[in-house]
Structure 1
């Protein structure tokens, strides 16, 4: 039987996007396809709304622009601006549901001809023109997001169940971490553990947006940590208290 068709989506601040954000997609796709679990059609970067309120969060317009620049080197990772354009912060489950419904409605001709082309611009033409049936949008994340499910008050049990049951998770985990134990300690995650794929990141990389912002604030070089076009954008727009020297 042919593997299921899947779209990977990463939700987060991307403040700024780094090479590691892009690597998560590559690691996940390699694993899912080599294991015969599913066929990965493409990936989506979905930057969070400004209302997320994270410290030092650059405006959504900047984060979207940087995400698009960062993904230019990829032939399969796209950027969606839907989350940023909402009236406020959107729960992760709603972001997944929106994109899955939109893609499936488009490929099955369930939307009228007046659909906004900008809204569906992230969907590759080969998906729109050659596919029928239903695809599944899976959430790709690091082990820290999985563990955040256990922080009281941060996630509702209903949202966790909807994400894992309806969409599924692809968790990129470090060599010495133990996501399986965290899943075991959660009744919800254990119930739907068949929908959680743990992928070990053997070639480790400790790049984070937080460290990049700190380096920029200190006028330290971030070259080879962040795509060059993103560095140029940061410098031009004077983000993160960066000065002219950030290469």
Structure 2
């Protein structure tokens, strides 16, 4: 990697990965002229309750979702570590491995409001630039330095996708077709 390479980081459970994730990643990559966007699936998120979907299924869906974009990659650093991962620990390790890369952590406006509660936020601000993207119903108000990226807004959430599958509603166009096929083939999120 060259010393001026700019990498976007998009973390999440990706349970499942949906069209909104892809639109945000590509929109930020284009708006900020990032070289790549690395998707960082969590093993176990510190602030979310598990849906019960195994890490292998989440990883397979994410691989399928990004396979057509040559600028998207998966970094499984948090899966390899297992347990709860904090962003500050992940970014610290990434900086140790890639000292000359400028990392940009992509977050939605809903997360911008939550930044004061992040684990070691002050140290994290020294390690990474935050890129904020709008989300319907949220404002981008914060005292922290956030670079705002203007990307189209899509009100899609993994929680809603899971609910729709459980209730027998369509998820067509909310997730990539390959992810939809995987969900139905594996019978994920159905009523148990």
- Partner of residue 99, structure 1: 94
Structure with the greater alpha carbon radius of gyration:
1
How far is 1:148 from its partner? 1.0
Q: Structure 1 residue 46 and structure 2 residue 40: aligned?
A: yes
How far is 1:182 from its partner? 2.3
How far is 1:4 from its partner? 4.0
Distance in 2 separating the partners of 1:79 and 1:140: 15
Q: Secondary structure at the match of 2:14?
A: coil
Question: Relative contact order (C-alpha < 8 Å, sep 6+): which is higher?
Answer: 2
Mark the runs of 5 or more structure 1 residues left unpaired by the alignment.
34-39, 105-133, 184-188
Distance in 2 separating the partners of 1:90 and 1:11: 11
Q: Secondary structure at the match of 1:99?
A: helix
Q: How many residues were matched structurally? A: 189
Q: Structure 1 residue 215 and structure 2 residue 176: aligned?
A: no
Q: Secondary structure at the match of 1:240?
A: coil
**Residue 238 to residue 162, structure 1, CA distance change in 2 (3 Å):** same
- Partner of residue 129, structure 2: 168
Q: Which has the higher helix share?
A: 1
Q: TM-score, normalised by structure 1?
A: 0.70
Q: Secondary structure at the match of 1:15?
A: coil
- Partner of residue 139, structure 1: 105
Q: TM-score, normalised by structure 2?
A: 0.88
Give the root-mean-square deviation of aligned CA atoms.
Answer: 2.2
Maintained 8 Å contact 1:96/1:138: no
Q: Structure 1 residue 198 and structure 2 residue 148: aligned?
A: yes
Q: Which contiguous aligned blocks of 4+ residues in structure 1 show a shift greater than 6 angstroms?
A: none
Mark the runs of 5 or more structure 2 residues left unpaired by the alignment.
none
Q: Secondary structure at the match of 1:144?
A: helix
**Residue 209 to residue 168, structure 1, CA distance change in 2 (3 Å):** same
How far is 1:25 from its partner? 1.3
